[in-house]
């Protein structure tokens, strides 16, 4: 029976796409700590290639925390991307790797966000282009719906690039196993802490470090054309502003604003910090609006075009195999 099961499983196996996940001449070979050290320096230019390589090194550390100190080569990154892409059906590189496969499956949703390299790079790039509001004081940052923690790492780099040696960063993630893994990795790196909890409840914000908040990232958005309530973005924003109020006055936000419309596109709503990302009450509540655009680095972009200008980082076959955020 075991042999039959093994034969059936082998039938489901396919190999990941051929070739490396990124072009060799643009991939930056370094350890995760090396990437963080370099990108945390103000003088280091922020490049798409550098951010994509950071994402792949971060994915490697998230999946293989015991190898955190290693330099991540393009071969390592490609092997991991291929195993991730084939986590359900299997492939030769996953044969006999049951524990690893379980990690990839249990963290599949969070990793899929991270592995959408063009969109993740676009978000990081927009974040790192932000100026901090004057008067925010010491850098305290919140990431709501933390997933693997890549945006919390982005906040760390933003803070370091603005001269904050020891930012206080705090994330909330409701999937227990994801929060635990992100917390362990980010705590080891000295980046911040992640708690497991529901970011739509105001009580969770009692644990936020005291003082003004310098930055909030909240990427819990539905895909373009779906109603906003399909994901908790508006509910999280409501709880956040109720709990922290004026402590958010100096914060920069990612996304900077979210645009929704009714089905026909006749009535539009801009959710932004000025209205606590709640919009004008109007006859229709914000959560019933359809997701349309986001503002990133001062630019208004249809949500399905986020990442479009970074597509060339990953070949089309790899992009297809790795899946998408939204």
Ligand X SMILES: C[S@@+](CC[C@H](N)C(=O)[O-])C[C@H]1O[C@@H](n2cnc3c(N)ncnc32)[C@H](O)[C@@H]1O
Would you count residue 107 as binding ligand X (CB under 6 A)? no
Q: With contact defined as beta carbons under 8 Å apart, do 128 and 158 qualify?
A: yes
- Rounded Cα–Cα distance for residues 213 and 263 (Å): 35
Size of the site for ligand X (CB under 6 A): 20
Measured from the CB atom, the residue of 247 and 326 that comes closer to ligand X is 326
Would you count residue 184 as binding ligand X (CB under 6 A)? no
In the complex, the smallest distance separating the C-beta of residue 219 from ligand X, rounded to whole angstroms, is 4
Would you count residue 141 as binding ligand X (CB under 6 A)? no
Query: Would you give the DSSP letter of residue 95?
Result: T
Instruction: List the Cα angle 74/76/314 in 5-degree steps.
Output: 45
Measured from the CB atom, the residue of 94 and 103 that comes closer to ligand X is 103
Would you count residue 110 as binding ligand X (CB under 6 A)? yes
Q: Residues 230-269 vs ligand X: string with x where CB under 6 A? A: --x-------------------------------------
Would you count residue 113 as binding ligand X (CB under 6 A)? yes
Rg of the Cα trace of the chain?
Answer: 20
Measured from the CB atom, the residue of 94 and 306 that comes closer to ligand X is 306
Site for ligand X in 24-43 (CB under 6 A): none
In the complex, the smallest distance separating the C-beta of residue 132 from ligand X, rounded to whole angstroms, is 20
- Pairing relationship of beta strands 140-144 and 168-173 according to DSSP bridges: parallel
Measured from the CB atom, the residue of 94 and 200 that comes closer to ligand X is 200
- How many other CB atoms are found less than 10 A from the CB of residue 19? 12
Residue 313, both tokens: 């980082």
Cα dihedral 283/285/289/294 (nearest 10): 120
Would you count residue 61 as binding ligand X (CB under 6 A)? no
Measured from the CB atom, the residue of 114 and 258 that comes closer to ligand X is 114
- Rounded Cα–Cα distance for residues 19 and 201 (Å): 45
Site for ligand X in 146-165 (CB under 6 A): 146-148, 150-151
Question: Of the listed pieces 158-166, 172-180, 246-254, 262-270, which binds ligand X according to CB under 6 A?
Answer: 172-180
Residue 53, both tokens: 């390589």
Of the candidates 100, 112, 221, which has an alpha carbon nearest to the alpha carbon of residue 91?
100
Pick the binder of ligand X from 174, 193, 287, 292 (CB under 6 A): 174
Would you count residue 200 as binding ligand X (CB under 6 A)? yes
- Pairing relationship of beta strands 257-261 and 268-271 according to DSSP bridges: antiparallel
Question: Of the listed pieces 70-78, 92-100, 195-203, 270-278, which binds ligand X according to CB under 6 A?
Answer: 195-203
Handedness of CA 176, 154, 29, 318 (dihedral sign): positive
Pick the binder of ligand X from 53, 78, 155, 220 (CB under 6 A): 220
What contacts 249, CB < 8 A, 6 or more positions away?
212
The residues that touch ligand X, with contacts defined as CB under 6 A, are 110, 113-114, 145-148, 150-151, 172-175, 178, 198-200, 219-220, 232
């Amino acid at each position: 029976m075991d042999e039959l099961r093994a034969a059936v499983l082998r039938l489901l196996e396919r190999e990941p796409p051929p070739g490396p996940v990124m072009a060799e001449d643009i991939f930056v070979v370094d350890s995760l700590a090396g990437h963080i050290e370099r990108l945390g320096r103000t003088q280091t230019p922020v490049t798409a290639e550098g951010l994509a390589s950071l994402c792949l090194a971060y994915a490697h550390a998230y999946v293989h925390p015991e190898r955190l100190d290693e330099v991540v080569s393009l071969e390592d990154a490609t092997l991991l991307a291929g195993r991730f892409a084939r986590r359900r059906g299997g492939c030769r590189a996953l044969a006999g790797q049951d524990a690893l496969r379980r990690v990839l499956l249990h963290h599949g949703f969070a990793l899929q966000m991270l592995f959408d390299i063009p969109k993740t790079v676009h978000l990081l790039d927009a974040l790192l282009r932000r100026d901090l509001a004057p008067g925010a004081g010491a850098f305290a940052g919140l990431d709501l719906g933390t997933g693997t923690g890549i945006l919390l790492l982005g906040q760390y780099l933003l803070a370091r690039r603005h001269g904050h040696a020891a930012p206080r960063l705090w994330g909330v993630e409701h999937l227990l196993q994801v929060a635990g893994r992100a917390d362990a990795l980010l705590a080891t790196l000295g980046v911040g802490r992640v708690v497991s909890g529901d970011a739509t409840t105001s009580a969770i914000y009692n644990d936020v470090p005291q003082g003004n908040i310098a930055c909030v990232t909240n990427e819990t958005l539905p895909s373009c054309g779906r109603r906003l309530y399909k994901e908790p973005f508006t509910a999280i924003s409501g709880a956040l502003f109720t709990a922290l109020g004026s402590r958010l006055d100096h914060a920069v936000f990612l996304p900077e604003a979210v645009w929704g419309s009714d089905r026909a596109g006749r009535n539009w709503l801009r959710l932004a910090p000025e209205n606590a990302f709640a919009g004008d009450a109007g006859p229709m509540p914000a959560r019933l609006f359809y997701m349309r655009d986001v503002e990133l680095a001062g630019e208004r972009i249809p949500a399905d075009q986020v990442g479009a200008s970074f597509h060339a980082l990953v070949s089309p076959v790899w992009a297809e195999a790795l899946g998408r955020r939204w």
